[in-house]
Structure 1
Amino acid sequence: MNEQELSQRLTVVGNAVPKGARLADIGSDHAYLPVALMLVGKISYAVCGEVVVGPFQSAQKQVVKSGLADKIVVRLADGLAAIKKEDEIDTITIAGMGGTLITSILENGKTQGQLSGHERLILQPNVGEANVRRWLQKEGYEILTESILAENDKIYEVIVAEKTVVKSQLTDKEIFFGPYLLAEKNSVFLKKWLQEQYALEKVLIQLQKAKVVPEEKVIAIKQELAWIKEVLE
C-alpha cells in the first residue's frame, strides 16, 4: 500500500501533515493514513487510536502486514487518550467523524492533558464544520488552510489549524462557510451550498407548518439562507 492508494479525502489530509511529523491519527480506520505516510517516508512516528475493538484489530493487522510495527503504535483508547507524553506528538489528524464529535474529542483531550496546544490539527468533519471552526476560534487556533473536495457523491472539507499568538477573528459568516473556502468559492463549494440551500428551504417549510413554530430556529435558518443566496449570486 502506498500514498497513491489512499482515497482522495485521505490524500488531502495526508498532504497537510508536515514532513518528519510525529502523528496521532484518531479514529484511524485500518491505519491507512499513517501506514501510507510512513511508507513514503513522510512521518517519523505514529500512534493510531481506535475506540472500537474491530477497527483497532484491523489497524494492528495493517501495521504488522506493512512491516511497520516498530514505527506505528496502535492503541485501543477513547479519543486523544491514545496519546502518551513520551510519544511527543506534534500533529493530530481526526478524519471522517461529525464536527460535534471532533470538538468533543479535542475538548476532552485538552481537559485531560493530551492536547498541549503545540500540535498541528488536521480535521476532516463529515458534517458540522462550523462547530469545528467555532471551537478552534474559541481555543485560540488560527486556520492555516482549508480544502473542499467531492468523492463518491459526497463533499468533504479539511481544516488545518495551529495555535498562534495573534489570531484573526472570524466573522459568523466565515465560521459558517470557512474563511478560505468562502474567499475561493470553487465549483465544489458552490455545489455544496446549492444542495444546502434546497435542504434548508425544505426544513424551513416544515418548521413553519408546525403547531408551535420554533421562532429562534426559523430566524437562524433564514439568516443562513440569506448568506447562502448572497454567496451563490
Structure 2
Amino acid sequence: MKYKTGSSVCTDSGNDNRREWNFATLHDLHVRANSVLRQAMLNERYKRWRKLDSWCGFRSLADFRTAQDFGQVSLPAAGNAVRLVVDLYNELLWLIDLAHFPEDYEPPSSYSMLLYELHYHLGVAYQHLGNHGNAVKEYSKTIEVVSISKNGCLAGCLTNSCLMTPIYTRRAFAHAKLGLATSETSLDVYYRFLQAISEGRREGGGFRQSVTSEYFA
C-alpha cells in the first residue's frame, strides 16, 4: 500500500522542520507515532511542568528529533517541556491526519477517541503556557470530534456528557482568561447587568433607570 507524501511540519514555536510524510507502511507510522506519544507523555507528567522559566534540554522539536535519532533522549527539566509537549502533540495530529492516507482508507473505530485525547491534551498544554486562545480552539475541536451527529441517537442525545464535562469546563476557564465575557461581540446578560451598574455609578445615581430601560422595557 502506498501512502501520500505530505508537506513539511511547522511547530507551535514557528520552526519549520521540512519533514515529509513518507511512510511506506502502517507499521512504520505506528513506530514513529508511538515514539512521539511516549515522549509527549513523559514531558507532560514531569513534576516541574509549571516552572516555565527553568532550563530545558530541548529547545525545539528539531533538537528532540536529533537527540532521538542518536538515542540521547532525556527529560527536560522544566517549563520548556510544556512547549515541547505542544510541538509533539501537533506532530502527532499531523502524523495521523487522514489527508495523508488513500481516499479509500477507513480508520479504526478508536480513531475518533485518539483525536479526542490529542486535542484535549494539546489544549491543556496551551493553557499551561497561558495561550488560552489556542486552548479554546483545541477544546472546540475536541467537542466536534465526540459530538453525536444530528439524528445519530434515537434517544435524542447531542453529546456524550462523560466526555464533554471536562472539555466544557476547561474551555469555559480559557474563555474567562481571555476575557471574552467583556467582549463587545459576545455580551451576555450578566455582563450587561454589571455594565449597567457601572454606568449608573459613573452617572451619579442613574443606575435604576439604566437597568429598567435595558431589561424591563
| Common topology (TM > 0.5) | no
Computing the radius of gyration over CA atoms, which structure comes out larger, 1 or 2?
2
Higher fraction of strand: 1
Higher fraction of helix: 2
TM-score (norm 2): 0.31
TM-score (norm 1): 0.29
